[in-house]
């Protein structure tokens, strides 16, 4: 059908002629109410955006000389973050002479991962970057 005929048909019905795939040979067009189509598309996009969950990265910082009660408190807060569906970055900061004992920090991070093992999986193993040793935990998938 020619473009003029299609335009005439669309005008008779009080609708718009919209090109669906202009690069096709011949171009594919559709007769529809374009403003209603745009409205419906925006509505669908809003609905999809509403259902999205943004995963945040929560950070927990410790020192190598942390005591057991403080350690347990931080582990509980990490478990809460993981249950909410967020990733957790656990880092240990070394100051001064503590840099000579990075093995203590690594052991601390491994113990932390074991404390959160029921709700988390270790995404990245402990790694030393400057004065910080960090590790990432992600929530276990609920299948």
Q: Where are the alpha helices (DSSP H) in the chain?
A: 3-13, 34-50, 68-83, 102-115
- Cβ atoms < 10 Å from Cβ of 37: 13
Residue 22 has a pLDDT of: 82
Radius of gyration of the chain (CA): 29
Q: Using CA atoms, how far apart are residues 72 and 19, in angstroms rounded to an integer?
A: 62
* 105-124 per-position pLDDT tens digit: 899 999 999 988 888 888 88
Domains of the chain from N-terminus onward: 3-50 (3.10.20.80), 57-139 (3.30.110.10)
Residue 98, SS3?
helix
The pTM assigned to this predicted structure is 0.61
Residue 14 has a pLDDT of: 87
């Amino acid at each position: 059908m020619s473009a003029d005929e299609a335009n005439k048909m669309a005008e008779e019905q009080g609708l718009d002629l919209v090109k669906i795939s202009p690069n096709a040979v011949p171009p594919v067009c559709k007769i529809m109410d374009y403003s209603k189509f745009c409205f419906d598309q925006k509505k669908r996009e809003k609905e999809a955006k509403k259902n999205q969950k943004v995963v945040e990265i929560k950070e927990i910082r410790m020192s190598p000389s942390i005591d057991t009660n403080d350690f347990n408190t931080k582990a509980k807060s990490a478990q809460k973050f993981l249950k909410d569906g967020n990733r957790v970055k656990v880092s240990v900061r070394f100051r001064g002479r503590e840099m000579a004992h990075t093995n203590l920090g690594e052991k601390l991070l491994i113990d932390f991962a074991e404390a959160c093992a029921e709700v988390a999986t270790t995404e990245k193993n402990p790694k030393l970057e400057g004065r910080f040793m960090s590790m990432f935990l992600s929530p276990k998938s609920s299948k």
